[in-house]
């Protein structure tokens, strides 16, 4: 893998994806930018070419459309230059679960989980063969907090965390780094697209601060990066508690509390 592999970023036309594109370009990486908005992609690509001198290609795609998703998968499978995938594209639905249209629920799941997993699946074999490369999956702290009431969105982000951790265990020993990034509320268009006023949220991080923190975790090769978490020891304790339960999951019989007479 080249010292500066090309980076493919999904959801790259605005918000977190656009900042990732800019930061990697300033590090000297060529880019492949994927999003639905052709005009915004072209404007971003033109600016980054002029400011950084890197090569920037655009690939207009709606990752909930099979043909578009297949085109991006094919690019990841065949383009030997691409050594970093940033799985950033995602969406949220308006309202609670009872108010959400089933078709919209299916679209959110398709974009936030199915497309993310398929793109990782497309690039992973080639990265493993090279013994180098990175997959960055953008999750959310909501995936750890059902109390926030975003049942479908949170469930998709819980998938992203589990999927990323599983991939790191499987691919890490073979030279491929997998990072899950868990933002809190960040100032992006995802909120207005879902009919929510981001300024009504109790705390909102700016996209540049979020991505810079995520890249600090990337450089440290953290498997999970949680930019808003002040005390890393809390995540370590959470993981230790989870791992302490693992031996107790593998039992031939139900726990005594379920077998005792009432």
List the catalytic residues: 153
Please name the residues in contact with 134: beta carbons below 8 A apart, sequence gap of 6 or more: 83, 84, 85, 127, 176, 177, 178, 179, 218
User: Could you tell me if 115 and 47 are in contact, meaning their C-beta atoms sit under 8 angstroms apart?
Assistant: no
CB 220 within 8 A of CB 28: no
**Residue 83 in contact with residue 103, Cβ under 8 Å?**
no
The 10 Å CB-count burial string (b at 16+, else e) for 229-246 is eeeeeebeeeeeeeeeee
Distance CA 181, CA 138 (A): 5
Asked if 126 contacts 84 with a C-beta cutoff of 8 angstroms, the reply is no
Which residue has tokens 């090309």?
A: 6
- Asked whether 211 and 21 are in contact (CB, 8 A), the reply is no
């Amino acid at each position: 893998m080249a010292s500066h592999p090309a980076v493919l970023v999904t959801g790259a036309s605005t918000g977190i994806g656009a900042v990732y594109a800019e930061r990697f370009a300033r590090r000297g990486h060529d880019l492949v930018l994927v999003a639905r908005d052709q005009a915004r992609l072209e404007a971003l690509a033109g600016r980054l070419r002029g400011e950084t001198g890197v090569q920037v290609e655009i690939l207009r795609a709606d990752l909930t459309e099979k043909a578009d998703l297949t085109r991006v998968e094919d690019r990841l499978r065949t383009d030997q230059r691409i050594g970093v995938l940033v799985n950033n594209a995602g969406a949220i639905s308006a309202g609670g679960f009872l108010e959400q249209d089933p078709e919209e629920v299916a679209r959110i799941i398709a974009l936030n989980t199915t497309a993310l997993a398929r793109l990782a699946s497309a690039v992973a074999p080639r990265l493993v063969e090279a013994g180098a490369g990175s997959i960055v999956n953008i999750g959310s702290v909501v995936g750890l907090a059902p109390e926030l009431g975003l049942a479908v969105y949170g469930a998709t982000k819980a998938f992203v965390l589990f999927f990323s951790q599983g991939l790191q265990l499987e691919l890490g020993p073979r030279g491929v780094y997998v990072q899950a990034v868990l933002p809190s509320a960040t100032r992006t268009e995802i909120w207005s697209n879902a009919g929510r006023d981001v300024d009504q949220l109790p705390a909102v991080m700016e996209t540049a601060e979020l991505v810079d923190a995520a890249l600090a975790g990337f450089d440290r090769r953290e498997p999970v990066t949680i930019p808003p978490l002040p005390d890393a020891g809390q995540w370590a304790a959470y993981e230790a508690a989870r791992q302490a339960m693992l031996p107790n999951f593998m039992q031939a019989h139900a726990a005594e509390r379920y077998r005792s007479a009432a």
